[in-house]
Structure 1
């Protein structure tokens, strides 16, 4: 059963809390807009470049992330940002982050792979087509990236966690790593588990994270079930999965903000 608080977050996490708030994004963060013909719209993209990007000729791995409004800037975030830029600066991290803004009232549609009988949605394939065939080619052409799957990751929370996991099944040759935070498997539960079951090979490196107090009593159960299913496809001895269940962790930005650094370090960034 999905509790009201979790439903509120899924459907209304599109409204920025920005009253009397100044921007907190660092100078390493910039934005641009790109046409998204697959979705019949344009997307605002937030880009983080490493501290040494302008001083070197190195190429960098890339992580594509959803809900960009919540990643870098308290002014645009829904009840708090992830502080990704500050965290990466402190680590002197060698990674480029590409954040894709959610579609506001279209967020649910874009971040669900399959249509839910009650809540609708189901435009996840179009959204991922945009990332893989429109956005990624421009990023790789414009910036010094390592474009191969070994150096290309995808990460998100809630519906973004669901979509990130789905992306690895649909585009295994593109995404070699995934951060899957509090994935909303429930909204497409039968379809996503069936797809995973029918996927013969899984080579993606996964970092799973959720709290045990997220408002959805099936969250931990679903994550355990998915991890078990993945381990039937490959030996757990390969150390390609990590699952973290935070005691008292709730379905919110704090859980994901606090888990971000450990996730990217374990994934190898």
Structure 2
């Protein structure tokens, strides 16, 4: 008699822990030996329910690595809903991007090393000095590799508790990515200029005054990037140099790619404040990217009635442009429940890093 159900599981997060399936067929016990999956390759497991096993008509279940403190998680390190399958389904193929690590969403040994690159960087054309941190992969000192670099704005809200609005927790997200070997990117965290933030992240005249975005971008490409490339083992070309941020930080990241595509070839654009710079659609028409460019754009439908439509319009404008007759590679991620908050940008961050800097495999 053939088995009524075979579960086939793949996971990029590879370690020595066994994998169990648990659910309404075993009182939800997370580590029953009879329901331990068999490894068949790196990150590959199978389990066949014995033909004589009494199963409910509909199985409700999850996967663990030996306990509820080691249960499956999604790609951003958050909990997932119960899985459901009919006992007569035959073969069920599934994928798990991440697992809880003994109660934590990440292994603390995989956290990046955070160093202060400078406390008072001077920015020509902007009066305030700037604090900059570097986040190196946890195993940076154990390799001789060269790494892509991602420059991120609003450093006060990137790691730690965050200043006022919360934190992206990029250090924790990079530890999460390290569990599936997608962490080999150097992050540069650049603090904003507090009251001058609007001016330094815009280019045209606004209610806050004339924009100084060009001075800010010149600081990154002429002062900060050369220092980073001299100090660390980087891949300095535009195909391995990214820039990203949210809100006004998303807007200035777009302009970085539009104005300096020979420097920034990877853009992480979260909830960009396109409304403050309507001229950006015309600027986009003139884009001539000298190298293949990738743009990860995110917006939440709960942010405002115009956020997602504006991003779609901008993406459509860019898609009509290209390099050597080829389209720019754009990924648009829309969150129906997304609001204009750090918690949503934090969830999106690991997905964006993977898409921008790694080939997509499942």
* TM-score, normalised via structure 1 length: 0.84
Cα distance in 2 for partners of 1:104, 1:156 equals: 15
Paired position in structure 1 for 2:306: 218
Taking the TM superposition and a 5 Å limit, the aligned residue runs for 1:201-240 are 201=289, 203-214=292-303, 216-234=304-322, 240=329
Taking the TM superposition and a 5 Å limit, the aligned residue runs for 1:14-33 are 28-31=113-116, 32-33=118-119
**Structure 1 alignment gaps of length 5 or more:** 1-25
Paired position in structure 1 for 2:335: 246
Cα distance in 2 for partners of 1:162, 1:121 equals: 15
Q: CA deviation at 1:201?
A: 4.5
In the alignment, structure 1 residue 106 sits paired with structure 2 residue 196: yes
**If you compute each CA radius of gyration, which structure gives the higher value, 1 or 2?**
2
CA contact (8 A) 1:71 1:77 kept: no
Paired position in structure 2 for 1:177: 266
Paired position in structure 1 for 2:286: 198
Paired position in structure 1 for 2:139: 52
Paired position in structure 2 for 1:258: 347
Q: CA deviation at 1:90?
A: 2.5
The DSSP-based 3-state class of the residue aligned with 2:209 is coil
| Count of residues in Structure 1 that have an aligned counterpart in Structure 2 | 241
Q: CA deviation at 1:200?
A: 4.2
CA contact (8 A) 1:67 1:100 kept: yes
**TM-superposition CA deviations, 1:63-88 (whole Å, max 9, x none):** 000000110110x4333211111111
CA contact (8 A) 1:63 1:96 kept: yes
Paired position in structure 1 for 2:167: 81
Cα distance in 2 for partners of 1:166, 1:70 equals: 21
Cα distance in 2 for partners of 1:163, 1:64 equals: 12
Distance 1:242 1:68, change over 3 A: same
**Structure 2 alignment gaps of length 5 or more:** 1-110
Paired position in structure 2 for 1:96: 186
Cα distance in 1 for partners of 2:287, 2:174 equals: 34
Distance 1:201 1:239, change over 3 A: closer
**TM-superposition CA deviations, 1:145-182 (whole Å, max 9, x none):** 11111110001000000000010011000011001000
CA contact (8 A) 2:300 2:340 kept: yes
Q: CA deviation at 1:207?
A: 0.4
CA contact (8 A) 1:110 1:121 kept: no
The DSSP-based 3-state class of the residue aligned with 2:198 is helix
Distance 1:200 1:95, change over 3 A: closer
Cα distance in 2 for partners of 1:40, 1:155 equals: 23
Does 1 or 2 have the higher relative contact order (CA < 8 Å, sep 6+)? Answer: 1
CA contact (8 A) 2:266 2:294 kept: yes
In the alignment, structure 1 residue 161 sits paired with structure 2 residue 247: no
Which is strand-richer, 1 or 2? 2
**TM-superposition CA deviations, 1:219-247 (whole Å, max 9, x none):** 11111111111111149985711001100
Which is helix-richer, 1 or 2? 1
**TM-superposition CA deviations, 1:4-57 (whole Å, max 9, x none):** xxxxxxxxxxxxxxxxxxxxxx67112222222342332100210001111122
